[in-house]
């Protein structure tokens, strides 16, 4: 008595062919039975049997094999300039949640604000056949959009737009209304009585920096004021914030500073202390983003809250829609931010 022939499931995972053999049908039938979209093409009884066998054999689809045939990897990529900046994780989380719910995996990469690295990463993503790309790293002079176009990868910008570039209209973007947002900060400072207000701007070439800067100037002039100082930071980092603030402090006097983002504010606090002055008491500070925990720094930062979650969600939905139908008209969404008043802003100290 020979033992019955062993179905041999041991080596590797079961394939559609294994299931077909076991269920006594053709591989194509298995494929149709297992794919929800085509399941209707197959008799209910067959579908049931195939599903049962597939389960028993522990069959798992191979996204790679399917992707080769269909040219879709069920994967999207997301490029972030700097994951360490706490505003990105919440955005990423929202994007990933929406994508995961639709069956997409998310390839994440840090560009570290380096255009060369960004290009390399896009190439690699193209190699991996991502179905779409979410770019949080837009900046002037980047070839990112051109690369996406070349590879035919649908892309959506998030948080940052292309700074008045030529190809703006060609790509959807979900960003904050930065000009409006910084205006809220200016209004607040003016209402407190400040007249000499400086701006610590973001790095050149990034839309959040340029928009907040022009928004700052516009709103200030709306109040009949001129900036008491304006220095751009080299990057959106704490260190760059400290350096830029030190430069501002070395210039003409001011009683308040509207800073381009919260990360810079940490450096601003450092610089103010290093100069022997006090935030709020001597100089009012406003931030931008309301990133996590800035309510707990001292003094609590008055800042402009953005809608991280809505941003990620909407961008994800738009990307999915454009992946499904590339002919869809492009969209340019501006989310409206709100001012959160804490302890870093006070009426100006009258000069003795």
Choose among a second copy, DNA, none what residue 9 binds, the Cβ cut-off being 5 to 8 Å by kind. Answer: none
Query: With respect to DNA, which residue has the nearer C-beta, 24 or 141?
Result: 24
Cα 74 from Cα 99, distance rounded (Å) = 9
Cα 92 from Cα 291, distance rounded (Å) = 14
Contact 314, 255 (CB under 8 A): no
Q: With binding defined as CB under 8 A, does residue 102 bind a second copy?
A: no
CA neighbor of 74 nearest in space, from 83, 61, 63: 63
Query: With respect to DNA, which residue has the nearer C-beta, 70 or 164?
Result: 70
Which of 7, 55, 68, 114 is in the footprint of DNA by CB under 7 A? 68
CA neighbor of 204 nearest in space, from 196, 213, 195: 213
The DSSP letter of residue 304 is E
Which of 17, 41, 48, 68 is in the footprint of a second copy by CB under 8 A? 68
Q: With binding defined as CB under 7 A, does residue 164 bind DNA?
A: no
Tokens of 330: 């492009």
Cα 88 from Cα 274, distance rounded (Å) = 29
Q: With binding defined as CB under 7 A, does residue 269 bind DNA?
A: no
Cα 50 from Cα 16, distance rounded (Å) = 10
Torsion of CA 217, 219, 221, 223, to 10 degrees: -150
CB count in 10 Å sphere of residue 4: 6
Q: With binding defined as CB under 8 A, does residue 339 bind a second copy?
A: no
3-class secondary-structure state, position 90: helix
Q: 100-113: buried (b, 16+ CB within 10 Å) or exposed (e) per residue?
A: eeeebebbebbbeb
- Nearest approach, Cβ of 298 to a second copy (angstroms)? 3
Tokens of 349: 């100290």
Q: With binding defined as CB under 8 A, does residue 298 bind a second copy?
A: yes
Which of 4, 7, 28, 118 is in the footprint of DNA by CB under 7 A? 28
Return the range that interacts with a second copy (CB under 8 A); candidates 43-51, 127-135, 249-257, 320-328: 127-135
Choose among DNA, a second copy, none what residue 121 binds, the Cβ cut-off being 5 to 8 Å by kind. Answer: a second copy
Element housing 22 (H / E): helix 16-23
Cα 294 from Cα 2, distance rounded (Å) = 73
Return the range that interacts with a second copy (CB under 8 A); candidates 82-90, 168-176, 249-257, 344-352: 82-90
CA neighbor of 221 nearest in space, from 205, 199, 204: 199
Q: With binding defined as CB under 8 A, does residue 61 bind a second copy?
A: yes
Tokens of 322: 């454009």
Choose among DNA, a second copy, none what residue 38 binds, the Cβ cut-off being 5 to 8 Å by kind. Answer: DNA
Give the HSE-up count for residue 88: Cα atoms under 13 Å, Cβ half-sphere. 20
Which of 46, 119, 126, 321 is in the footprint of a second copy by CB under 8 A? 126
Choose among a second copy, DNA, none what residue 28 binds, the Cβ cut-off being 5 to 8 Å by kind. Answer: DNA
Q: With binding defined as CB under 7 A, does residue 73 bind DNA?
A: no
Q: With binding defined as CB under 8 A, does residue 150 bind a second copy?
A: yes
Query: With respect to DNA, which residue has the nearer C-beta, 69 or 296?
Result: 69
Choose among a second copy, DNA, none what residue 164 binds, the Cβ cut-off being 5 to 8 Å by kind. Answer: none
- Nearest approach, Cβ of 183 to DNA (angstroms)? 50
Residues that bind a second copy (CB under 8 A): 12-13, 58, 60-65, 67-68, 71, 73-75, 83-84, 86, 88-90, 92-93, 96-97, 100, 103, 105-110, 121, 123-129, 150-152, 266, 269, 292-293, 296-299
Residues that bind DNA (CB under 7 A): 12-13, 15-17, 24-29, 31-32, 34-35, 38, 40-43, 45-46, 59-62, 65-66, 68-71
């Amino acid at each position: 008595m020979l033992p019955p022939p062993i179905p041999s499931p041991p080596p590797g995972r079961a394939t559609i062919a294994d299931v077909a053999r076991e269920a006594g049908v053709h591989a194509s039938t298995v494929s149709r039975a297992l794919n929800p979209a085509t399941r209707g093409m197959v008799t209910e009884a067959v579908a049931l049997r195939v599903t049962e066998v597939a389960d028993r054999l522990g069959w798992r689809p191979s996204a790679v094999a399917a992707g080769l045939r269909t040219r879709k990897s069920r994967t999207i990529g997301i490029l972030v300039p700097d994951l360490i900046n706490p505003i990105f994780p919440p955005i990423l989380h929202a994007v990933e949640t929406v994508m995961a719910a639709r069956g997409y995996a998310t390839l994440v990469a840090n560009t570290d604000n380096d255009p060369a690295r960004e290009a390399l990463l896009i190439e690699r993503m193209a190699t991996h056949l991502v179905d779409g790309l979410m770019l949080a790293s837009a900046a002037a002079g980047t070839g990112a959009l051109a690369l996406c176009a070349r590879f035919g990868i649908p892309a959506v910008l998030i948080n940052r737009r292309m700074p008045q570039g030529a190809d703006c209209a060609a790509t959807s973007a979900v960003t904050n209304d930065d000009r409006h947002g910084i205006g809220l900060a200016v209004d607040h400072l003016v209402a407190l009585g400040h007249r000499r207000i400086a701006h610590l701007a973001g790095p050149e070439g990034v839309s959040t920096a340029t928009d907040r800067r022009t928004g700052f100037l516009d709103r200030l002039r709306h109040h009949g004021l001129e900036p008491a100082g304006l220095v751009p930071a080299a990057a959106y980092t704490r260190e760059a914030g400290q350096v830029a603030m030190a430069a501002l402090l070395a210039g003409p006097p001011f009683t308040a500073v509207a800073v381009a983002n919260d990360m810079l504010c940490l450096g601003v606090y450092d610089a103010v202390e290093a100069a022997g002055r006090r935030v709020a008491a001597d100089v009012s500070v406003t931030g931008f983003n309301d990133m996590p925990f800035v309510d707990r720094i001292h003094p609590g930062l008055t800042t402009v809250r953005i809608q991280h979650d809505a941003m990620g969600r909407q961008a994800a939905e738009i990307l999915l829609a454009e992946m499904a139908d590339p002919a869809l008209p492009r969209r340019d969404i501006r989310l409206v931010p709100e001012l959160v008043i804490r302890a870093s802003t006070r009426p100006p100290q009258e000069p003795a």
